[in-house]
Amino acid sequence: MIELSVIAKTENLDQVLDFVNEELEKQGCSMRAQLELDIAVEELFVNIAHYAYRPKEGPVTIQIDFDGDMISVIFIDGGIPYNPWERKDPDVTLSAEERQVGGLGVYMVKKSMDHVDYQYEEGKNILTIQKQIQDDAK
pLDDT score at 93 = 52
Give the Cα separation of 3 and 64 in Å (integer): 6
Edge-to-edge, what's the strand order for the sheet holding 59-67? 2-7, 59-67, 70-77, 124-132, 115-121
**Tens digits of per-residue pLDDT, 13-28?**
999 999 999 999 999 9
Provide Rg for the chain, Cα atoms. Answer: 15
User: How does residue 138 score in pLDDT terms, banded at 50, 70 and 90?
Assistant: very low
pLDDT score at 99 = 46
Share of the chain above pLDDT 70, in %: 83
CATH class entry, domain 2-132? alpha beta
pLDDT score at 110 = 87
Instruction: Name the residue with higher pLDDT: 85 or 36.
Output: 36
**Range 36-45 average pLDDT:** 95
Instruction: Name the residue with higher pLDDT: 113 or 97.
Output: 113
pLDDT score at 64 = 97
Extents of the domains making up the chain? 2-132
